[in-house]
C-alpha cells in the first residue's frame, strides 16, 4: 500500500516572493516535489488552491498588514507544522530592519503620505513568530536550493529538518578561505547563519548577513571590532541591521540609551 502523502501548503506574505520563486526554479526537482507531496496551495505555481488541513505549511514573507496577520493565524490553525522560509518570515526581512515604533510611523508617512487604506490596515513589519508558534526556520535571502531540497526531502521522509545553527565562518573555513575580517574587510560571517555555502567570502566578498543572525550572534564584539578597525559607526549599524529584522532590537536599544 502506498504511504499517504504529506499535505503541504506554500504561502507568501510580504516579501519579494524570492523564496517561492526559488522553489519554482528547482526545475530538475520540480516533478519530484509535486510527486512526493500533495501541494495543496502554492499561488505562484498553480491555480486550484485549497485551504484545508495541512501537514506542513511553508510561509514566506513578513506580516505587514492586519489581513496578513489573520491569514497567518488561519494557516497556523490548519497546519501541524509551520516552517518559516526566508529572511522575511524568519526575522522580518529588510522591511523590518530595526527601527522603533516612532521611527516606523514617521517613515510610513514619508512613503505613503496621507493615503487612506481601505483594503486592510498596515502594520509595522514583523517576522511570523511575532504572531504564531513556528516549528522550523529555513533562513536565506532567498533560501538556498540545496538546503530547501534537503529540508523538503527530510520532511517528506517523516524527519524534522536538520539545519546548520553555526555561523558562515564554519563553512568559510571548510573552504579554506583566508579570513577577510583579518584583512580589515567588514565581514559579517561570524554573526550570520551558515547554509549558503559561504558563497560571498568564497569569492572574496564580505558576508552581508543575508541569512540572518545566529542564535548567539555576538553583536557587541563584532561592532567594537569593526569600530577598532576604523569603520564608521553608522555604516556598521546599517550593515548589521540590514538583514537582522527585529532580531537585534535589544542591541539597538542600547545605542538609544547611550545617545540620551
**Chain residues that interact with ligand SF4, rule: CB under 6 A:** 168-169, 172-173, 177, 179-181, 187, 189-190, 192, 196, 198-201, 207-211
- How many Cβ atoms sit within 10 Å of the Cβ of residue 85? 31
Sign, CA torsion 49/51/55/61: positive
Nearer to other proteins (CB atom), residue 108 or residue 166: 166
Residues 73-112 that bind other proteins (CB under 8 A): none
Q: Which of 141, 222, 245, 251 binds other proteins (CB under 8 A)?
A: 222
Q: Are 59 and 34 within 8 A, CB to CB?
A: no
Nearer to ligand SF4 (CB atom), residue 125 or residue 177: 177
65 near other proteins (CB under 8 A): no
Write down the least CB distance from residue 154 to other proteins, Å: 5
Write down the least CB distance from residue 69 to other proteins, Å: 29
254 near other proteins (CB under 8 A): no
- Nearest Cα to Cα of residue 61 among 23, 17, 99: 17
Write down the least CB distance from residue 106 to other proteins, Å: 32
Nearer to other proteins (CB atom), residue 32 or residue 95: 32
Residue 211 contacts which entry, ligand SF4, other proteins, none (Cβ below 5-8 A, type-dependent): ligand SF4
The strand pairing partners of 62, in sequence order, are 14
Upstream peptide bond of 95 is cis (omega within 30 degrees of 0): no
Residue 165 contacts which entry, other proteins, ligand SF4, none (Cβ below 5-8 A, type-dependent): other proteins
Q: Are 133 and 80 within 8 A, CB to CB?
A: no
24 near other proteins (CB under 8 A): no
Nearer to other proteins (CB atom), residue 110 or residue 257: 257
Nearer to other proteins (CB atom), residue 21 or residue 153: 153
Q: Are 58 and 178 within 8 A, CB to CB?
A: no
Which x/- pattern over 155-174 shows residues binding other proteins (rule: CB under 8 A)? -xx-x--x--xxx-xx-xxx
212 near other proteins (CB under 8 A): no
Site for other proteins, rule CB under 8 A: 29, 32-33, 35-36, 149-150, 152-154, 156-157, 159, 162, 165-167, 169-170, 172-179, 181-182, 189-191, 214-216, 218, 220-222, 224-225, 228
Amino acid at each position: 500500500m502506498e504511504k499517504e502523502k504529506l499535505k503541504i501548503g506554500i504561502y507568501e506574505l510580504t516579501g519579494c516572493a524570492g523564496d517561492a520563486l526559488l522553489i519554482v526554479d528547482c526545475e530538475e526537482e520540480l516533478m519530484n516535489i509535486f510527486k512526493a507531496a500533495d501541494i495543496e496551495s502554492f499561488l505562484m505555481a498553480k491555480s486550484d488552491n485549497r485551504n484545508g488541513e495541512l501537514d506542513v505549511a511553508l510561509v514566506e514573507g513578513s506580516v505587514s498588514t492586519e489581513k496578513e496577520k489573520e491569514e497567518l493565524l488561519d494557516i497556523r490553525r490548519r497546519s501541524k507544522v509551520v516552517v518559516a522560509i526566508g529572511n522575511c518570515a524568519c526575522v522580518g526581512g529588510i522591511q523590518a530592519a530595526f527601527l522603533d515604533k516612532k521611527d516606523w510611523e514617521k517613515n510610513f508617512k514619508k512613503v505613503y503620505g496621507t493615503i487612506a487604506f481601505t483594503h486592510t490596515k498596515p502594520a509595522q513589519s514583523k517576522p511570523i513568530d511575532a504572531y504564531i508558534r513556528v516549528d522550523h526556520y529555513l533562513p536565506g535571502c532567498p533560501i538556498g536550493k540545496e538546503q530547501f531540497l534537503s529540508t523538503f526531502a527530510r520532511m517528506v521522509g517523516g524527519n524534522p529538518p536538520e539545519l546548520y545553527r553555526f555561523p558562515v565562518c564554519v563553512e568559510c573555513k571548510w573552504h579554506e578561505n583566508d579570513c577577510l575580517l583579518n584583512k580589515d574587510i567588514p565581514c559579517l560571517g561570524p554573526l550570520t547563519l551558515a547554509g549558503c555555502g559561504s558563497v560571498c567570502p568564497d569569492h572574496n566578498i564580505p558576508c552581508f548577513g543575508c541569512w540572518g543572525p545566529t542564535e548567539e550572534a555576538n553583536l557587541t564584539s563584532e561592532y567594537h571590532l569593526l569600530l577598532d578597525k576604523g569603520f564608521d559607526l553608522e555604516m556598521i549599524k546599517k550593515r548589521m541591521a540590514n538583514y537582522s529584522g527585529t532580531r537585534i532590537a535589544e542591541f539597538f536599544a542600547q545605542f538609544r540609551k547611550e545617545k540620551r
